[in-house]
Amino acid sequence: MSSSKENIINRLKEAQHKRGGQSKARPDFESPIYLEFDKQAADSFKDNLELIGGQVLRVKNLEEALDELRQLVQSENLANLVCLEPHLQKVLEGQLPFEKSLADLKHIGAGITSCEFLVAHLGSILVSSASVSGRRLHVFPETHIVAAHTGQLVNYLDDALEQMDAKYPKGLPSMITNITGPSRTADIEKTLVMGMHGPKKLFVLLADEPF
């Protein structure tokens, strides 16, 4: 008569032989990672940014952009505009009152900057420390206004990073930031608070032509 121990071992061996084989499916490396767009990149960017609280103002050229900017300043009651980038300063000169320095950080009402790229898939804005605006003007103002054109649109974030690598072959900027909508947090009691770590409002002037 076999012992209880032998019976248990025999049952385990029998169960082992009856187990079906396991195989690992080979990943499909050929399939695209992202779903294809069903819209133009500019429309996708606008829809995706506005889903998360930003606003895109579509314009054709510089003249329309200035008209939209004047209306925005009036409708949002914006004051103490700051612009540090020379090519944008030339555009704004004589059109709107603005400051050309960050001498008084406490009283910046709205910052006007350019950007590196626009990511349609996320509705995001890629900025870097390589711009004259540096790091501060993307963070300190309560309202951030981005002047951009459709030539800066890319489909996905990895496309933007590849473009950055090509744009700065001697070395990437020390800071690359992907801005996705106005600043927000819900860390405290799951209550959404806007503008906690940056601007409360985000506007993108998206033109068909470069400024």
pLDDT range class, residue 183, cuts 50, 70, 90: confident
pLDDT, mean of residues 63-70: 95
Domain that holds residue 144: 36-207
Flag the least confident range among 42-46, 169-173, 189-193: 189-193
pLDDT, mean of residues 65-76: 95
Domain assignment of residue 30, yes or no: no
Domain assignment of residue 26, yes or no: no
Rg (CA), the chain: 26
Q: Is a pLDDT exceeding 80 seen at residue 191?
A: no
Flag the least confident range among 123-132, 156-165, 185-194: 185-194
Return the pLDDT at 192: 63
Are residues 48 and 122 in contact, defined by beta-carbon separation less than 8 angstroms?
yes
Domain assignment of residue 159, yes or no: yes
Domain assignment of residue 117, yes or no: yes
pLDDT, mean of residues 128-153: 92
Secondary structure E strands in 24-161: 55-59, 81-83, 110-113, 117-119, 124-128, 143-149, 153-154
Return the pLDDT at 69: 96
How much of the chain exceeds pLDDT 70, in percent?
Answer: 89
pLDDT, mean of residues 107-117: 93
Which CATH number goes with the domain that contains 113? 3.40.50.10420
For residues 200 and 111, give the distance between their C-alpha atoms in angstroms, rounded to a whole number.
12
Domain count, the chain: 1
The CB density around residue 177, as the number of other CB atoms within 10 Å, is: 18
More confident residue, 32 or 169: 169
Return the pLDDT at 195: 57
Domain assignment of residue 19, yes or no: no
Domain assignment of residue 14, yes or no: no
How would you list the strands of the sheet with 153-154, edge to edge?
A: 153-154, 117-119, 124-128, 176-179
